[in-house]
Amino acid sequence: MNSRWRKFLAFATAAFMCVSASTALALSLRITSSYTQRKVSSGKFPIHSACMMPPQGHLTKIGVKGAEGMTKESEAWAEALEALVESRLETYGIAIYSSANPLSSGASDDEIRKVISQVQEKFVALSPLMNKKPGRIAKSAYTLGDQVGMLPCSENSDILIFVQGVGQVLTGGRAAMTLVVGGPAEAADVFITMADAKTGEILGLIKTYPGAGFLDNAELEFGQRLDCPLSNMNIGSARKNDRACEN
């Protein structure tokens, strides 16, 4: 297991534990929160293109006898989350690029993978503090450094997008037990972070908490929740659209 993945698992565990105390309230209110750098929300930094960094997902299955990892399911879920984010952004006129695409740079696959790994490692290390104090994003408190400019997609993109998901699902037996005596609930935490593709400055963060069935209906439990924060952030054509925040 490489150091980047170990760091993400540590972040995933910490993130889910931090939210667990308020999970019931978050799910009942269907909370989605967003934090934006002022130059983005004011429209001074228009966003029309985005580079998708490799998504990260971690699922745990909770049974009567304990918990176990879900490696294949985690990878599939991460890809599904990425696809939903891409789809939402494209709806608002955002051009999408892959961080692994060399475009016209002439960079080799190995060179690109190395830069991606370095940027991801910096991001995972920064994530715990950023998620603990997200309000500081508005004050330009966080940055990944200008190394992000070494990504070939950086030249064509306004922002980098990082998608992270941490979730737990229950077996039938565990779900039945929870109904009777209480216990863990099926839930997830999903984070979408945006960084300036040239400077690495963190520009925005969306945090949402899909509830039970989040794997069965990702569009309802996650995709539709992005419309309001994207509108508040002035992303693409999603600019201060009150209708996006009606539900």
Question: What would the pLDDT profile of 31-62 be if each residue is shown by its tens digit?
Answer: 788 999 989 988 899 999 999 999 999 999 98
d(CA 138, CA 129): 14
> Can you give the pLDDT at residue 215?
85
pLDDT in tens, 124-145: 999 999 989 999 999 999 999 9
d(CA 35, CA 70): 31
Give the mean pLDDT of 213-220. Answer: 79
pLDDT of 116 over the 80 cut: yes
> How far from 38 is each of 25, 57, 146, 172, 232, CA to CA, in Å?
29, 29, 20, 46, 11
> Which of 80, 225, 118, 98 is CA-nearest to residue 160?
98
Q: Which domain, by its residues, includes 144?
A: 3-237
Question: Is 97 part of a structural domain of the chain?
Answer: yes
Question: Is 242 part of a structural domain of the chain?
Answer: no
Question: Is 27 part of a structural domain of the chain?
Answer: yes
Question: Is 243 part of a structural domain of the chain?
Answer: no
Buried/exposed code over 101-114 (b: 16+ C-beta within 10 A; e: otherwise):
bebebebeeeebee
- H-type alpha helices, the chain: 3-20, 23-29, 38-41, 71-91, 109-132, 172-181, 218-221, 227-232
Question: Is 246 part of a structural domain of the chain?
Answer: no
- Residues ≥6 apart with Cβ < 8 Å to 2: none
pTM of the model: 0.85
> How far from 128 is each of 125, 195, 236, 241, CA to CA, in Å?
7, 16, 28, 31
pLDDT in tens, 165-197: 999 888 888 778 777 777 777 888 999 999 999
d(CA 172, CA 189): 21
> Can you give the pLDDT at residue 237?
83
If one counts the domains in the chain, the total is: 1
Could you tell me how far CA 45 lies from the centroid of its own chain? 21
Question: Is 93 part of a structural domain of the chain?
Answer: yes
Question: Is 247 part of a structural domain of the chain?
Answer: no
> Can you give the pLDDT at residue 200?
97
Confidence tier at 161 by pLDDT (50, 70, 90):
very high
What φ, ψ does residue 59 adopt, rounded to 5°? -110, 145
pLDDT of 23 over the 50 cut: no
> Can you give the pLDDT at residue 244?
59
> Can you give the pLDDT at residue 131?
87
Contact 197, 159 (CB under 8 A): yes
Which amino acid makes up residue 239?
Answer: R
- CA Rg, the chain, in Å? 18
> Which of 31, 5, 37 is CA-nearest to residue 188?
31
